[in-house]
Amino acid sequence: MIQQMAVKTNNRREQRKVRVRLMKRQRTLYLMLIPGILWALLFAYGPMAGLYMAFIDYQPSLGNFWSNFFGSEFVGLRWFRYFFSGQDFLNVLRNTLCSSILTLSIGFVIPIFIALALNEVRGRFFKRVVQTVSYLPYFISWVIAANIIVTLLSSEGLINQILIACGFIDEGIFFLQEGKRFWLIVALSNTWKDMGYNSIMYLAAISAINPELFEAAQVDGAGRLKQIWYILLPMLRPTILILLILSIGSLLNTGFDQYFLLGNSLNRQYSDVIDTYTFRYGIQNGMFSYASAVSMFKSVIAFLLVLTVNTISKKLEGSHLF
């Protein structure tokens, strides 16, 4: 028994020495991590102290911010109860979830098809042109993109002109004035803007696949479709699952710009999501504590979603984030 304990102690010492030698050997890499760690502490973890505002009745006034912040009345969960019992809760939650799920359903699949299609293209020039055209919308700000979408969908816009010319309709449709079409418009807009950029990760994963697998499949008589189905997609499964976990974790984080710019008073019943609701009450109405409580609710639900989907993926497929 004593000998076993002595052996375990010696093994721990050896492991500790190995770690120290490894850290010394890689000290340059650890030094390079310092700016990233400082950035995360200052801009990711530091602002989390502001979550305390969700539990107080903060009233902005002239004078020192910190004295007003810590001197405000502690109200506990009052703002959360106010949000859950309010008339806007179910409507805002419905808009956020339905719009996000629709965007995820369309926008998650399209980049995979783009990556598979680009992988089959043999002409290098054509492939680069298609990649550039599909990537370009990602780098356009939502202000410009929203103006393009509003112009296309106006009563005299290109979409209505095409529909009238084809005989599908007799007069222009007010797409953005009818809320029932808003979720689909936003989902298609998000997909158009992000599909090219999101396909980069799948193209990178495809390039890492051993080409000998395709050569062996060709020898066995497998065509391109069978190679895609039996080699490409199974090899892409870990990447797809990881990105799916991250996407589901951000279901409540629909984004602010597109809803704020495409929404209006006529479609607010469908366009008002958690981010725009927080902005309206927090910035425009000055209810900072209430807006902090709503944002905290969104963050907690997103964290729970990531944990749940990660656990399910780990048990079913073995692919997980942590």
pLDDT for residue 294: 93
Confidence of residue 230 (pLDDT cuts 50, 70, 90): confident
The CATH number, out of the four listed (1.10.3720.10, 3.40.50.720, 3.30.750.200, 3.40.50.1980), of the domain defined by the range 79-316: 1.10.3720.10
Which pLDDT score, from 0 to 100, does residue 305 have? 85
**Conformational region of residue 210, where left means phi above 0, alpha means psi within -120 to 50, and beta covers everything else:** beta
Mean of all residue pLDDT scores within the chain: 86
pLDDT, mean of residues 72-99:
91
Burial 275-292 (b: 16+ CB within 10 A, else e): bbbbebbbeeeebbbbbb
pLDDT at residue 321, rounded to an integer: 63
Residue 56 contacts residue 71 (beta carbons within 8 Å): no
Q: Where are the domains of the chain?
A: 79-316
C-beta neighbour count of 11 within 10 angstroms = 10
Top pLDDT among 17 and 135 is at 135
- The closest alpha carbon to 243, from 311, 312, 309, belongs to 309
Helices 288-316/233-249 angle, 10° precision: 160
**What is this structure's pTM?**
0.82
